[in-house]
Amino acid sequence: MTLLKKKNRFVLLSYIILTLVAIAIIVPFWILFAASFTDESWAVNHGFSLIPGKWSTLAYQYVLSRWETFGKAYLITICVTVCGVILCLVVTAPCAYMLSKKDLFGRRVISFLLIFTMLFNGGMIASYVNYTQIFHLKNSYLAYIIPNLVTSAYTIMLVRSYFQSSIPDELYESARIDGASEFGCFIRIAIPLAKPILATIALMQGIAYWNDWQNGTYYISDYGKWGIMNVLNSINNSASYLSTLTTQSEGVPTTTMRLAIAVIGILPLICIYPLFQKYFVKGITMGAIKG
């Protein structure tokens, strides 16, 4: 009975802690959402609150009126995210499957090189020179994709661990007895059984591509090729960029407009994440790299 009471107390304490953590996470998002619907002058004078002190949709009206700028940036971010995730999965899955085979020649050397690139890199200057002068990615949409793609060693090791620990070799042997080739084993056995970890990788990389503003800042100097995060970052930090969006800065809701763009920017992630949540938890648990 005493043990049962202790267990119930622990469960109650766990729920209380999780509730507080959830509140701490949700409240900032709600304040962001409420503030984006607050009148500019009221927000500047009184600050932000959980409920808009003076309701206004001027910020969203302004964003929609400049949709040729914001809409294009939004579309660029969507295309980059989709293409980046697809390319990452196309590169990650075959490499991970190959490295999961113990009889692969040079397996340890390749794994060491991948781990080495996870720990060390040439630095920002070397990367900039490579991408701009060797690969000529300056002002190219590929500059959003390639830098993140070549740093996907972690995802390869994660999926490799999943293949090794979660898919028994007997399945491959049975398929080979039935006449399946190595490619057939990969397509018909490995990929279907690896859906949880692949969905996890897709979610992780999708968030990374969606929130990426650094590559656009480094390699894209053409405002017309910026993604939504680069636009938001420039509005927050550069008055000169804001002046390019309008010929009349007076009356522009700069503060609430930033919040409105931020809300529009995070909505896809909020909508998509619940769909991948079960795969995310299962994939991380089953595909965790074991010591």
CA 248 to chain centre: 35
The pair phi, psi for residue 55, each rounded to 5°, is: -65, 135
Amino acid identity, position 232: L
CA distance 159 to 196: 10
CB 96 within 8 A of CB 159: yes
CA distance 228 to 212: 10
Residue 184 lies in a domain: yes
Residue 43 lies in a domain: no
Domain limits for position 28 = 2-36
Residue 46 lies in a domain: no
What distance, in Å, lies between the first and last C-alpha atoms of the chain? 39
pLDDT at 286: 53
Q: Which residues share a beta bridge with 38?
A: 55
pLDDT at 290: 44
pLDDT at 106: 86
Residue 38 CA neighbour count, 13 Å, CB half: 26
CB 60 within 8 A of CB 36: yes
pLDDT at 55: 84
Residues 27 and 146 reside in one and the same domain: no
What value, to the nearest 5°, has the Cα angle with vertex 167 and ends 166 and 168?
115
Query: For each successive 10 residues of the chain (291 residues), what is the average pLDDT?
Result: 68 89 90 87 80 83 80 91 94 92 87 85 83 89 89 86 86 85 89 88 90 89 87 72 56 75 85 74 52 39
Residue 56 lies in a domain: no
Residues 218 and 273 reside in one and the same domain: yes
Residue 19 lies in a domain: yes
User: Cβ neighbours of residue 32 under 8 Å, at least 6 residues apart?
Assistant: 259, 262, 263
